[in-house]
Structure 1
Amino acid sequence: MLQDALLFDGAGRPVAGQGRTYSRDWDEVQDFCRKVYMPYKVRPTGRLLQPDATMRQAAVARVTVTRFSYGVPIHLSEFDPGAGNILVLNTLRGSLRHLCEGPNDAVTRAGDSFVVDCSRTDYWLDGDENHMQLNLTIPHDVVAEVAHRWFDFVPDDRLWTKRLAFGGYGSRWQYLLSYVVQAVDPVRGRVRSDALARHLEEMLCLELLETWAAGAGVSLKDGARAAAPYYVREAEEIMAREARDPPAIGAIAVRVGVSARTLSEGFQRFRGISPRSFLRARRLEGFRTALERAQPGETVTTIATDWGYVNFGALAVAYRERFGERPSQTLARTMAKV
């Protein structure tokens, strides 16, 4: 199903690689890995081994998809948590051995997948000489954002620290990956349209969340949200209600009866994001709603100004990253219905 991923598109046309797609130079291979995954330590498990690496990548909105192999047996460790990335390692051939919970490691073979949030837990893996991977690098904040949008909360570390093997041939995840890679433009190395790319990003994150939560024993429908302390829930209500003219984070902390530091730590622990990031998301959502309810004569500038935005360039970038289109496109669609 995925054997030709990032080699050929759905019509059988060769996919052009970005930069070098093969290498036998350790420095070149590691430079690729630092950019598409994160800094980490690699050690070949043999003497005087040189890589015979496959290095292909494509972009699906904020998700980086890679077809990758070192071409030699390796041990990887010391993944940099500061990069803030989740890895989903999907094995095409060969096998990987992963650090996992309990006394036994997890082994994934062709058709199997493994997810680990390297920003929240430690991790290592061994790959045999035949390993070939179709990997996803997803920023933690992107998955947290999808969780909040769909389930109205961000899971705590019971989810993010769970290292999980999943998938297998015939699984929904395998079919979804196949659909995603076939949407990659064979020349541009990315999904053809921004709107489709954001839709596929959402599908990948949502399917991953549901599978991951089931494996971690975390409920996405109830329980986890209630586990957050009262001051986090009250702060969320204030920020959602007053997003148009928001108070300072320190002022919100005073209103809910805690220090700004306690509020920040509560959000990070129970929502996986900062209070400022939560507020920024609510403001973007409110701005979008205002565009969707605009009346004739209103412009993006007047609506943005009414919402207190002054840097329209930065707003446009953040809006497009969040919703997959420019504010003017949202407004144009609204005006077409009037």
Structure 2
Amino acid sequence: MNTHVDPGPPLLAAYQRARTGHVQEAEQSVARTLSLHRVVDVSGDLDLTHNAVRVGGLTLLYINYGAELTIHLQSPYEPYYLVQIPLQGSMRILRDGERLEAKVGTAVITEPGHVTSRLQYSANCARLLVKIPPALVEQRLHEFAGTGRADELGRALPGVLDVTDGAGRTWMELVRTGVADLDAGAFMLSLPSAIGYFENLIVDGLLVVRGDGHAPADVEAVPSMRGALEFIDAHLDSPIGVLDIASATHMSIRALQIRFQRELGVSPIAYVRNRRLEAVYRDLYVGSADTSVYAVAARHGITHLGRMAAAYREKFGESPSDTLRAAAGRRGNG
């Protein structure tokens, strides 16, 4: 990791969330805009600068911990896209067991469906970050449906992005333009029309990066249904959507939907709902005296009990409570 360097003046200084040398305060401040985490293995004096501002659905951040340190992410994980761009120093992350590294001129991208467990930052690793909610990406992909680029834009994002060349450079210049306007007083990004335009440019720019030849042609041509089904079963307790499944299996959204309809006769989301209902039924069928319908449903990613109960009755011909009572009757007879 790099030695101590001068990161220059902080970006987004008018939107400061915290400036602190205390680990607990640093954790709490950053968690409010990103995810729960623990700061460990601090080498040197911690001096967090945390600036953050919402621009439409996007969040732009500037973070510099000052010291070299490691971060361990903690569940529950909020699903979002995050692009981390080192302006000084370097960083490493562990994503799905793979180590990714970025320095000045590159960026690290994490997205829903991938597990990031550890992040390491060099001393004075000043970073510009862009946080994007999945709903924005889903919306823009939907608007691309029917265009000639819909398939390529549905591919998985690269883990590390070169922001000095090609589509990555263009995207980085868009981000810099927005940050410069905010630092100058938000002359453009105080206008609702400009905010919506900027939001779309940033998301569309990432989608262009996504479709810029980073998915192997043979993977795209012959997508793996087995991988999709295994991913779904492993993440039933998480709020997964079509984009998450497509990203995890390196399929376009259109290819994923076609394969599910052709081979299973349902959409990917309908399949996820069915698997969750089946998992709930199995747990209730063997339930104990301490089992509750709410706890079992929550364990399998279901939060709306009313909708779940109606779908459950339609699928199994009884209510969740009926299944649980039948389990109690079997225990009594046993």
For 1:1-338, what aligned pairs fall within 5 Å after superposition?
6-7=11-12, 15-20=13-18, 22-46=19-43, 50-80=45-75, 82-99=77-94, 105-151=99-145, 159=156, 164-169=159-164, 171-184=169-182, 186-187=184-185, 191-213=189-211, 214-217=213-216, 224-229=253-258, 261-262=270-271, 264=273
SS in 2 for 1:107: strand
Q: What amino acid sits opposite 1:39 in the alignment? A: L
Instruction: Report if aligned partners of 2:83, 2:131 keep a CA contact under 8 Å in 1.
Output: yes
Q: 1:185 to 1:196 in 2, by over 3 A?
A: farther
Distance 2:208 2:102 in 1: 20
Greater shift, 74-83 or 211-220, is seen at 211-220
Aligned alpha-carbon RMSD (Å): 3.9
Instruction: Report if aligned partners of 1:86, 1:118 keep a CA contact under 8 Å in 2.
Output: yes
Q: What amino acid sits opposite 1:57 in the alignment? A: A
Deviations 1:279-303 (A, max 9, x none): xxxxxxxxxxxxxxxxxxxxxxxxx
Instruction: Report if aligned partners of 1:44, 1:72 keep a CA contact under 8 Å in 2.
Output: no
Deviations 1:42-70 (A, max 9, x none): 21343xx5520111112221111111011
Q: What amino acid sits opposite 2:72 in the alignment? A: S
Distance 1:217 1:122 in 2: 23
Instruction: Report if aligned partners of 1:82, 1:119 keep a CA contact under 8 Å in 2.
Output: no
Distance 1:81 1:211 in 2: 28
Instruction: Report if aligned partners of 2:83, 2:109 keep a CA contact under 8 Å in 1.
Output: yes
Percent of aligned positions with the same letter in both sequences? 18
Instruction: Report if aligned partners of 2:153, 2:208 keep a CA contact under 8 Å in 1.
Output: no
TM-score by length of 2: 0.57
SS in 2 for 1:166: strand
Residue in structure 2 matched with residue 270 of structure 1 by the alignment: none
Q: What amino acid sits opposite 1:228 in the alignment? A: Q
SS in 1 for 2:257: coil
Q: 1:19 to 1:89 in 2, by over 3 A?
A: closer
Instruction: Report if aligned partners of 1:56, 1:66 keep a CA contact under 8 Å in 2.
Output: yes
In the alignment of these two chains, the number of paired residues is 231
Q: Shift of the alpha carbon at 1:228? A: 1.4
SS in 2 for 1:226: helix
Q: 1:84 to 1:229 in 2, by over 3 A?
A: same
Instruction: Report if aligned partners of 2:15, 2:51 keep a CA contact under 8 Å in 1.
Output: yes
Instruction: Report if aligned partners of 1:87, 1:137 keep a CA contact under 8 Å in 2.
Output: yes
Instruction: Report if aligned partners of 1:101, 1:163 keep a CA contact under 8 Å in 2.
Output: no
Instruction: Report if aligned partners of 2:39, 2:71 keep a CA contact under 8 Å in 1.
Output: yes
Instruction: Report if aligned partners of 2:93, 2:118 keep a CA contact under 8 Å in 1.
Output: yes
TM-score by length of 1: 0.57
